Chain A
Amino acid sequence: MSGRIAIPSAALLRPSIQQRVGRVVLILVALMFIAGFLVLPVAAVLTQALSEGWKMYRDSIRQEDVLSALRLTGLVACIAVPLNMLFGIAASWAITRFEFHGKSFLITLIDIPLAVSPVVAGLMYVEVFGLHGWLGPWLSERNLHVIFAVPGIVLATVFVTFPFVARELIPFMQAQGSDEEVAAVVLGANGWSVFWRVTLPNIKWALLYGTILAASRSIGEFGAVSVVSGHIRGKTTTLPLEVEMLYNEYSFTAAFAAASLLTLAAIVTIVLKKVIEVISGVDPHKEEREVKS
């Protein structure tokens, strides 16, 4: 390119004063929005939690009820998340590697928990497993308790976190294609070694990413769990429910102390997500880069 053409085109690339002002204004608006709606509330939670001093904060968290809610939340996440990993891998494998009738219907089904209000999800479980529900009498004859007990909480959590892993994996696996798996099969690998040696190493970051999203949702889930839990202190109360109960009892400091734990979990999630993006060099939402040329 000759110098004569290069000079005006370079001048065009340099933004005019109006453009620069516009850019600064937009950035400021965005920052103010984030400050007002995200940073400020998080800061408020932490200040409220610590408003009566560090010792009070520690004591609030150490209450037996809060600790038991924390344990239950952990237990539910430890059951729901692995289940959803298994389900997510199975569903995305089936959807991206095989052709079958009703495939698009299955994809729609996976999205239902995202579309349905969690309260409705909870009510569905009450209708099915509750004492007057379809399976209730059968279950109570056998002394099995689902609703107002831990199994119901696990079920509700599995339901709402159902889509997270699958929705991360499906577009990722679609973009990667099945060439490598076919190559492994031709080289003599059986299904099991294709999965462990080829599929899993290729999807591990997207899988971890989806798992973290599912975990953070299962820790924070309120609506569905609230319906099926029964709010029995120390038994069927998860951390979000405990926060609400404390708040309704005007124990503001304790409520905010418990809430700060949830906030902390959220921050850890965000950091982990970022770390995965950096380590893997893959932003799971930009699979296109991964597509072979």
Chain B
Amino acid sequence: MSIQVEHICKQYGSFTALADVSLTIGSGELMALLGPSGSGKTTLLRIIAGLESPDDGSILLHGEETTQHSASKRGIGFVFQHYALFRHLTISENVAFGLRVQSRQIRPSRRGIRERVQELLHLVQLDSLAKMYPEQLSGGQRQRVALARALAVRPKVLLLDEPFSALDAKVRKELRDWLRRIHDDLHVTTVLVTHDQEEALEVADRVAILNQGRLEQIGTPQSIYDNPASPFVYNFLGNVNLFHGRLLADFSPEGRGDGRQEPIESAVGFVRPHELEISRDLPPDARAVVACVVRIHSAGPQVRLELSIVGNGKPVSAELGRRQFEELALVPGDSIFVWPQSIRLFDDDGARALLLDQGAGI
């Protein structure tokens, strides 16, 4: 079941929640809607679910116009940030709810419901808790019950609204992997809303990045991470160093050094911490700057350095492998040479992207 979002607009008073957002989610795909709070991602999810109505635009489920259908008729499963389990019902009654409220013609028999509930509790590995009440469960368990409850009615589309954000980091990671496995088993078209870029990049087949009600970029996690389309996406996906400056050489979009004068005057360069090269000796073929090591964070697989560029004192962060770190034997206060492997430039409007490979200078 595919989902087509076509030119959706939504306004709350003077606040624009969504401004002309269009995207298509393929059948069986797991799509993440990623963005900071206020970016409109949850509003979009609720519009797909039918819990909000758009001011303009339409939602097509499997090619069929459903914008006017009520939420209870869309055949969707919805998982809420705060679980929203029925507190007065046991776990198995919670899972059975969607089946019990079905109209008599399509409702399974009592036995059918019982079997389906058992099957789902087994799927979410909570067989032993069937008789408990939600308040007796941990957050992670509750969210698994919520997923089982949503899946009980065999929804054509599964929508998850920041499902793991109320959980602690370790449980969040476990549930994320587990969600991916369940999705691989069931192949339900799934939309996951999250503000956690790591979660989105790790779980989803494709990621749509929203900012201030607009779609910034959509693509596979790899393509988005490698080729951010705007300074916003660059900033949002992990740490990045910003370099403000003016272009000195005659770069052009096609390559460099073809003699044409690039019209961009001032620009912002983006370099990820792991794209910075570090050496104690001046490299022969690169324009490097001298920086001073301010602080070293060496707990973890990667060693993170806080540097300060000698001259203007600009803080820069760099990451390097443990092995290289040991070879360099850095201590705070050392002076080192730093240069980028690659740098991505955007002009002041953030409009044009330019990738410079090796040998670029800061």
Contact = CB atoms under 8 A, between A and B. Distances in A.
Contact of B101 (A179, A182, A188, A202): A188
A179 B82 contact: yes
Contact of A186 (B78, B83, B86, B87): B78
B49 interface: yes
A201 B88 contact: yes
A292 B102 CA distance: 28
Contacts of A28: none
Interface centre among A182, A187, A202 (most CB of B within 10 A): A187
A179, A186, A189, A198, most chain B CB atoms within 10 A = A186
A180 interface: yes
A184 interface: yes
Contact of A198 (B70, B73, B86, B98): B86
Contact of B72 (A186, A197, A292): A186
B80 interface: yes
Contacts of A190: 72, 101
Contacts of B149: 183, 187
Contacts of B86: 180, 183-184, 197-198, 201
A193 interface: yes
A185 interface: yes
Nearest to A191: B72
A189 B98 CA distance: 7
B106 to A, nearest CB: 10
B88 A202 contact: yes
Interface in B88-103: 88, 97-98, 101-102
A184 B101 contact: yes
Nearest to A182: B51
A193 B84 contact: no
Interface string A32-64: 000000000000000000000000000000000
A62 to B, nearest CB: 45
Interface in A236-293: 292
Nearest to A178: B84
Contacts of A201: 86, 88
Nearest to A186: B78
Contacts, number: 61
Interface string A166-185: 00000000000001101111
A181 B192 CA distance: 21
A186 B97 contact: no
B59 to A, nearest CB: 15
A199 to B, nearest CB: 11
B153 interface: yes
Contacts of B102: 188
Contacts of A184: 86, 97, 101
A186 B101 contact: no
Contacts of B97: 184, 187, 189, 197
B71 A185 contact: yes
Interface in B134-188: 149-150, 153
A187 B87 CA distance: 16
B84 A180 contact: yes
A202 B86 CA distance: 9
Contacts of A193: 101
Contacts of B82: 179, 292
Nearest to A192: B101
B76 interface: yes
Given A179-B82, A193-B101, A197-B101, A186 B49 contact: yes
A95 to B, nearest CB: 20
A86 B80 CA distance: 31
A184 B88 CA distance: 13
A186 B71 contact: yes
A219 B150 CA distance: 47
Contact of A179 (B77, B84, B98): B84
B153 A187 contact: yes
A183 B84 contact: yes
B167 to A, nearest CB: 11
A95 B36 CA distance: 31
Interface in A139-197: 179-180, 182-190, 193, 197
Contacts of B83: 292
A34 B236 CA distance: 64
Contacts of A183: 78, 80, 84-86, 149
A285 to B, nearest CB: 19
A189 B49 CA distance: 14
Interface string B55-84: 000000000000000111100111010111
A183 B152 CA distance: 13
Contacts of B80: 179, 182-183
B84 A187 contact: no
Contacts of A187: 72, 97-98, 101, 149-150, 153
B5 to A, nearest CB: 18
Interface string A105-130: 00000000000000000000000000
A182 B78 CA distance: 10
Interface string B199-227: 00000000000000000000000000000
23 contacts: A179-B80, A179-B82, A182-B71, A182-B80, A182-B84, A183-B78, A183-B80, A184-B86, A185-B70, A185-B72, A186-B51, A186-B78, A187-B97, A187-B149, A187-B153, A188-B72, A188-B98, A188-B102, A189-B72, A190-B72, A193-B101, A198-B86, A201-B88
Nearest 10 CB-CB pairings of A with B: A187-B98, A179-B84, A189-B101, A183-B84, A186-B78, A201-B88, A188-B72, A193-B101, A185-B72, A185-B71
Interface of B: 49, 51, 70-73, 76-78, 80, 82-88, 97-98, 101-102, 149-150, 153
Interface of A: 179-180, 182-190, 193, 197-198, 201-202, 292
